[in-house]
Amino acid sequence: MIALSLIAGIGAFFLFLEFGDADGLTWLDVFRAVLILISTLWLAWGAVTAFVGMTTRARPPEGENVAPIKGRTCILMPVYNEDPVESLSRVAAMEASLRETGDPADIHFAILSDTRDEAIAKQEREVFERMVRECGGAGRFFYRRRENNVGKKAGNIEDFITRSGAAYDYALVLDADSLMEGETILRMIRRMEAEPGLGLLQTLPKIIRAQSHFGRAMQFSASFFSPVFARGLAMVQGRTGPFWGHNAIIRVRAFAQSCGLPVLKGKPPFGGHVMSHDYVEAALLARAGWTVRLDDDLEGSYEEGPENLVDHAKRDRRWCQGNLQHMRIIGAPGLKPWSRFVFAQGIMAYIAPLFWMGFILASIAAPLLVTPPNYFPVPGWPFPYFPPSEASMAIGLAIGIFGLLFLPKLLIALRSAVTGEAKRFGGIGRVFLSTLAELALSSLTAPVLMMFAVRSVSQVLMRRDGGWPTNNRGDGILSWSEAVSAAWWITLTGCAGMLAAWYLTPELFLWLLPIGVPMIGAPALLRLTSLPSRRRLMRVPADAATPRVVQLCDIVLARWGARPRPTSIQSVTTVPNVGVKV
């Protein structure tokens, strides 16, 4: 995979140099070629991950253990200013799903509250007490609220491990929006018991309940594309796998012995408590000799995603700060080489947009820096003229870069048609239309996301701490005023960039429109993509058949007087209550 990525990146580098050398090589050509090299390496790595993921299919470990579970497990749900009815209804649903299996495994639940709002904290206690009464769970359900939420989520988990960890063999770590089928939880526990060297087992969560155009595009991508990329990731990382902080099970003793996190010297954003703690904890487990594994064959693992670009950008800002903080950790002693590589990947994920932005700005400003050649000798003709030696290289370079972006997803769609997987997503025709729709939407939103990413990286480099904002888990519809407030600066940047291109490099103006137009129309893009979708495209299996644990969650929400959000094409009111006592 590394070799293929290097071949693609170095190939693009030399193609661009030859492209520039046709009319005399300048220092600016070399600079832009280096930017193309770095950017192409990153794109190629994502593409080969997908290609590797398509070579095999996920499968359970051979001779999967079905013996009775001996150890005790605690399911941990950290909450931070969340809607208590929404979050605790998921706990009740998972308890009911476990009860439906009839398995006598010893499993407890712990609500680990870091809530700062006193009104929400009061409601948490009230809803928790009701849940315990209805589930008959005295002695199996626990709630505690920290007085000081030092260390955020990582500190919350550490506090539980330190105080209560010795009472448990395993701990299933969730987010407040996590849902998991009872059968999936039991399979995870059995896999931990079958492999004493397994320190952490990560599942691939699928997004549910998405309603907006943006949310449903993310949901489709998570259900249709992500399993292939995750398969490639699982194959290449092996025993040094990923940890994404939720929907994963840990061996408590291994975690306690290996994963104490340092407080980094200095102030945030680079100092202080580790924010993207999950990557670091996976690296520390691997350093201590424990296996960290992604089992991408496990179904029944769900989460909810942001419904609009603004909420996505807010969450991404926190991840950006946490990943750039890893620059302080990547050289820590004793880490596995692959762990260091994962840190480098995470850092690159956020600085890659800077290279694309640098390439665009350098291309626009080229006349101010070097004497440009005349690629438009015929007045009024909109297409550039390249000498024969340049034209083929320019076309080949463009095709190669766009191929790295689009080809993996198109191949995944083709593969689904061959394997029959497309039937679960509405049929072959709908799958290809959905893939094209997702590619179109991601192409439109890419320049806007690039600007948000550039701003996030710039803020971190200027040592501005973004903190840990509360997630918005509502419907996510943005008003026009909210959209304008969030994206006016992107519109101004887009207008300035296109005006600069018009005056400095008019020959590039048309070619920059796919970037400039979405930036100029960013407020409209934010607003329109946050509106509810009619679900004609980008359907997922959960649209046709609501997962059982989601049905149980809807039943609990209805019992508690909350209105469940639609999950499937059916109305929620048609979900049958089959006598599950919740």
| pLDDT confidence bin for 380, thresholds 50/70/90 | low
What is d(CA 478, CA 523) in angstroms, rounded to the nearest whole number? 10
What's 283's domain CATH number? 3.90.550.10
Q: Is 110 helix (H, G, I), strand (E, B) or coil?
A: strand
Q: Is residue 353 part of a domain?
A: yes
Residue 424 DSSP label: G
User: What count of other Cβ atoms lies within 10 Å of the Cβ of residue 226?
Assistant: 20
Mean pLDDT of 406-422: 93
Whether residue 505 is contained in a domain is answered as yes
Query: Is 430's pLDDT higher than 80?
Result: yes
The confidence band for 212, taking pLDDT boundaries of 50, 70 and 90, is very high
Domain span including residue 353: 2-56+349-375+390-425+436-464+493-529
- 342-373 burial by CB neighbour count: b if 16+ within 10 A, else e? bbebbbebbbbbbbbbbbbeebbebeeeeeeb
Total number of domains in the chain: 2
Query: How many whole angstroms separate alpha carbon 341 and alpha carbon 347?
Result: 10
Query: Would you state the torsion angle of the CA atoms of residues 373, 379, 384, 388, taken in this order, to the nearest 10 degrees?
Result: -80
Nearest Cα neighbor of 338 from 258, 242, 250 is: 242
Helix, strand or coil for residue 292? Answer: strand
pLDDT of residue 569: 46
Note whether 298 and 410 are same-domain residues.
no
Report how far residue 409's alpha carbon sits from residue 53's, in angstroms, rounded to the nearest whole number: 12
| 6 and 90 co-located in one domain | no
Same structural domain for residues 94 and 175?
A: yes
State how far the Cα of 389 lies from the Cα of 553, in Å rounded to an integer. 63
Looking at residues 15-44, what average pLDDT do you find? 83
- 84 lies in the same domain as 230: yes
| Joined tokens for residue 546 | 């609501």
Same domain, 182 and 119: yes
* 398 and 516 inside one domain: yes
Q: Same domain, yes or no, for 138 and 189?
A: yes
Strands of the sheet containing 141-145, edge to edge, are 141-145, 106-113, 72-79, 170-173, 248-251, 198-202, 291-294
229 phi and psi angles, rounded to 5 deg:
-65, -40
Same domain assignment for residues 173 and 307 = yes
Q: What is the mean pLDDT of residues 208-222?
A: 95
pLDDT of residue 365: 86
Confidence band of 389 (pLDDT split at 50, 70, 90): very low
The answer to the question of residue 563 being in a domain is: no
Cβ–Cβ < 8 Å for 281, 331: no
Q: Which amino acid, one-letter code, is at 77? A: M
Residue 561: inside a domain = no
Write the CA distances from 11 to 7, 150, 417, integer angstroms.
6, 48, 32
| pLDDT at res. 577 | 32
Residue scoring higher pLDDT (469 or 218): 218
Assess whether pLDDT exceeds 50 at residue 575.
no
> Is residue 327, in this structure, part of any structural domain at all?
no
Q: Give the pLDDT score at 381.
A: 65
3 state DSSP class of 272: strand
The region of weakest confidence among 208-217, 375-384, 444-453, 554-563 is: 375-384
Decide if pLDDT at 570 tops 50: no
C-alpha separations of 480 from 115, 215, 452, 533 in Å = 31, 18, 19, 18
Lowest mean pLDDT among 168-177, 351-360, 422-431: 351-360
- The whole-angstrom separation of Cα 316 and Cα 310 is 10
Domain final position from 529, 553, 576: 529
Tell me whether residue 547 is in a domain. no
Residues 144, 52, single domain; the answer is no
* Amino acid type, 108: H
pLDDT tens-place string over residues 531-559: 998 878 999 999 989 999 999 999 999 99
Q: For 247-306, what is each residue's pLDDT tens digit? A: 999 999 999 999 999 899 999 999 999 999 999 999 999 999 999 999 999 999 999 999
Q: Is residue 484 part of a domain?
A: no
Q: What is the pTM of this model?
A: 0.89
**pLDDT tens digits, residue range 143-180?**
999 988 898 999 999 999 999 999 999 999 999 999 99
Same domain, 48 and 170: no
**Confidence (pLDDT) at 29:** 84
Same domain, 136 and 219: yes
What's the rounded Cα separation, in Å, for the pair 159 and 171?
Answer: 13
Do 420 and 525 have their domain in common?
yes
Per-residue pLDDT tens for 45-91?
Answer: 999 999 999 988 877 777 677 889 999 999 999 999 999 999 999 99
Determine, yes or no, domain membership for 26: yes
SS3 31: helix
Q: Quote the pLDDT of residue 350.
A: 93
pLDDT of residue 377: 63
